[in-house]
Amino acid sequence: MKYKGLIVKGVIAIVVLLVAIQFIPFGKDHSNPPVVAEPPWDTPQTREMYVRACADCHSNETKWPWYSNFAPASWMITLDINKGREVFNTSEWDAENNMGGWIAKQVELGEMPPAKYLLPHPEARFTDEETAIFVKGLQETFGH
Ligand code: HEC
């Protein structure tokens, strides 16, 4: 019976910890900065596919999911979005900071969107045919 007591204490400790971390302020600010400039999208379809698969992390038009209100998910999501917007941000578009063909390349290689994003975002999963169309659109928009 000694073990049962330990398990109960362990569960209580985890619950207390999960409640306590909700009070840490980091990750709570979900205000999206304004959209100031957009890239010259080659077609509305490329933009639409980009919104489905990339804009949550590489634009200021992030759709914050409900679970982004709870630590520790809120921390991981905020870190990803901060980093993603830093790498390139299509809402603060500046041709000088264009990563060019590298953007399409990440999709072609299957590196982006990240695998962990695809699980809760089935709309960002493309068929091979859709991926080919998307890669071409990204190349037309950002360069080869
Ligand atoms: C879940 C958030 C998220 C999504 C969705 C996402 N990215 Fe990223 N992306 C990141 C982060 C974070 C980085 C920087 C760190 C890294 O490379 O993992 C990054 C890096 C990049 C880079 C630079 C890679 C390098 O190594 O230089 C490119 C290009 C890129 N993303 C393109 C895209 C494209 C195109 C899409 C949509 C198909 C997309 N990303 C979707 C978070 C995301």
Q: How far is the CA of 84 from the centre of ligand 1 (A)?
A: 6
Q: How far is the CA of 81 from the centre of ligand 1 (A)?
A: 9
CB 58 within 8 A of CB 89: yes
Task: State if residue 106 touches ligand 1 by the CB under 6 angstroms criterion.
Answer: yes
Q: What would the pLDDT profile of 62-110 be if each residue is shown by its tens digit?
A: 999 999 999 999 999 999 999 999 999 999 998 888 899 999 999 999 9
Determine the Cα–Cα distance for residues 88 and 24; give it in Å rounded to an integer: 28
| b/e 77-101 (16+ beta carbons within 10 angstroms → b) | bbeebeebbeebbbbbbeeeeeeee
Q: What would the pLDDT profile of 55-72 be if each residue is shown by its tens digit?
A: 999 999 999 999 999 999
Q: Answer yes or no: pTM beyond 0.75.
A: yes
